[in-house]
Amino acid sequence: MTEKVAIVTGSNKGLGFAVVKGLCQKYAGTVYLTARNETRGLEAVKKLNEDGLKPEFHVLDVCDSDSIKNFANYIKTKHGGFDVLVNNAAILEWDEVYPSYEAAKRNINCNYRSLLKLEEYLYPLLRDNGRVVNISSACGHPSNIKNKHWIDTLVNKDVTTDDINSFVDGYLESVRNGTFNMNDFADEGKHAEHRVSKIALTALTMVQQRKYYKRNISINAVDPGHIKTEMAQGGGVLEPDEAAKAVLYLILEASPNLKGIFMGQDKKLIDWYDTEGDYYCKGIW
């Protein structure tokens, strides 16, 4: 019987580390803790080893195409494929509430475009009946947007990757040429780059689900809540282990019929199409 394999990106600390820990405790298969920094990744593995848990480690920088290709080749050679992917790796540069073009591009490249590269190189190895969880946030709901054209584009049930890329590129171009309008976003457009990257990630979840539906692969997005991590300078309220519960639920317990949804930390479904709802990220910076 083929051995099951689970992969968690950006998992040397915070939510990713908590997900790896939970999987090591309950998942019947090999669990990969990945990180872009080898030293920090191995230190994280050592912590889990001290608790009697045995994750595997591999370097993976989701912002580097060569790193993704190398990792994919490793998984193909050693395991032939994999069954679970948690796309957790992300950045947020707190100091730039209204970021420069370069800072905005870094955020979007890491938090959104990396998923396109992961799909290109890793998804061919994703086995039938697999599960993917994309880590979004309160920033990842379309209620963060006030621009009607963008809203109508993203909540269209036939939205495409090209549509999402146009949304992302339009935002970046506005930052580059100085036409950025804070009124296009909630909360005076603070950290619009993060809102754009997470909205794009959530929308991509639904696009990917349509692509892989016939193979019974479940691809879902989660808002894990405001977590006490280095990224949460506004003062997180949830411990990573608590925030990981919804992610672990989607991997270990949820019906395989639960597909292409956006789930909250409380395991309740978030209505993607309720653009007037009170879902958006509010002034935590």
Instruction: Give per-10-residue mean pLDDT for the chain (285 aa).
Output: 92 98 98 98 98 98 98 98 98 93 98 98 98 97 97 96 98 98 96 98 98 97 85 68 97 96 96 92 67
What's the CA gap between 247 and 204, in Å, rounded? 18
What's the pLDDT at 280? 85
Torsion region of 256: left, alpha or beta (phi above 0 gives left; psi -120 to 50 gives alpha): alpha
What's the pLDDT at 230? 60
What's the CA gap between 110 and 33, in Å, rounded? 18
What's the pLDDT at 1? 62
Domain ranges for the chain: 5-263
What does each C-alpha distance from 94 to 123, 194, 207, 241 come to in angstroms?
32, 10, 30, 24
What's the pLDDT at 237? 79
CB 222 within 8 A of CB 247: yes
What's the pLDDT at 228? 76
What's the pLDDT at 285? 46
Superfamily covering domain 5-263: NAD(P)-binding Rossmann-like Domain (3.40.50.720)
CB 86 within 8 A of CB 54: no
CA-based angle 4:7:10, to the nearest 5?
165
Tell me, yes or no, if the pTM score tops 0.85.
yes
What's the pLDDT at 229? 63
